Amino acid sequence: MKKYSMRLSLVLAIVLVFGNCSFTNADVKAIKLGSQVQGTLSVNNSAAYVINFSSTMKVKLKVDAALTDYSGNQEVAEDDRDFEILMMSYDDYKDYLEMVAEDVDNADDDNDDAFYDEYDDEDDDEDEEDDDDIDYVIRDFVDIGEGYEENLEVEGGKYVFVINNDDCEINFKFLFKDISEYTKAIKLNRKKLTMKVKKSAKLVASPKQKGKYITKVFWKSSNKKVAKVDKNGKVTAVKAGQCTISAWVKGGKKVKCTVIVKSKK
């Protein structure tokens, strides 16, 4: 597997993850779905961006890069150059940074270049074992001048997109575009719930039609004194009785689940 020396710079972002800071630092930038991002990366450098997907959706990722004027003065042509792109969940990014930090700690201070440029088989095996703990959504190399395009289905949540570059200075741009086909018709995984006081259960709303997607789901209990429901569909029994939990998306019809709460006895 190809190694990248710019990983050293990513270690600087560890404080953002394990400290009290959010991804608003210049080293790790927050981006929005549908907004094109562009920038310049020097040799042995990287850029990391955090993006939040509100729900499960289908997105198109398009990445392009070209040599800068400075890089154009170098002898190697674009078709001999590439860079690495990674995408992982917010939590996996923490593990990724830990792995990077361990790589750096294991490097000999007097032989950093050799450590990054000439890995032996044992180092490769150890690195691959570490990578097994990270569930990459994307892990690929992009040829400069050719670009990259991929359609992805992503679950709702926070993700980090990383560009690693060690070949030459590049100008890059990328875009996450929502290409989902949305529907207002939803269904629940349960039509009836029987629960005991203080117990919880999860209701899941999904599209009625296969291949469709839904936007934000709203939840409501007909009687919060019997059972309450949070914004994620988690139902908690409060006291014995019966109520109805309703779910809907904006502009769509409500779907319902009957909840019967029994006492602990």
Residue 221: which pLDDT band, with cuts at 50, 70 and 90? very high
The residue from 155, 178, 201 where one domain ends is 178
Tell me the mean pLDDT in the region 240-253: 97
Which of 178, 203, 228 is a domain's end point? 178
| In-domain check, residue 1 | no
Q: Specify whether 31 is located in the same domain as 122.
A: yes
| Burial zone of 197 (CB within 10 Å; 0-12 exposed, 13-18 middle, 19+ buried) | middle
Domain boundary among 146, 178, 210: 178
| 76 lies in the same domain as 124 | yes
Give me the number of domains the chain comprises: 2
pTM of the entire predicted model? 0.74
Q: Strands across the sheet with 255-262, in order?
A: 192-196, 255-262, 241-249, 217-221
- If asked whether residues 45 and 149 sit together in one domain, one would say yes
- One domain, residues 18 and 134: yes
Residue span of the structural domain in which 120 resides: 7-178
Q: Are residues 30 and 141 in the same domain?
A: yes
Residue 19 main-chain phi, psi, to 5 deg: -90, -160
Q: Are 103 and 11 in contact (CB under 8 A)?
A: no
Rounded-to-integer distance, Cα 237 and Cα 165, Å = 52
Q: What pLDDT does residue 1 have?
A: 42
* Higher local confidence (pLDDT), 52 or 113: 52
197 and 149 within one domain:
no
Based on the fold, state whether residues 77 and 120 are members of the same structural domain. yes
Q: What is the largest CA-CA distance in the chain?
A: 80
Do 149 and 101 lie in one domain? The reply is: yes
**Are 163 and 66 within one domain?**
yes
DSSP, res 238? -
C-alpha–C-alpha distance, residues 66 and 236, integer Å: 54
Q: Please write the tens of the pLDDT for every residue from 115-144.
A: 445 444 445 554 555 566 899 999 999 998
2 located within any domain: no
Q: Which helix (H) or strand (E) holds 71?
A: helix 69-72
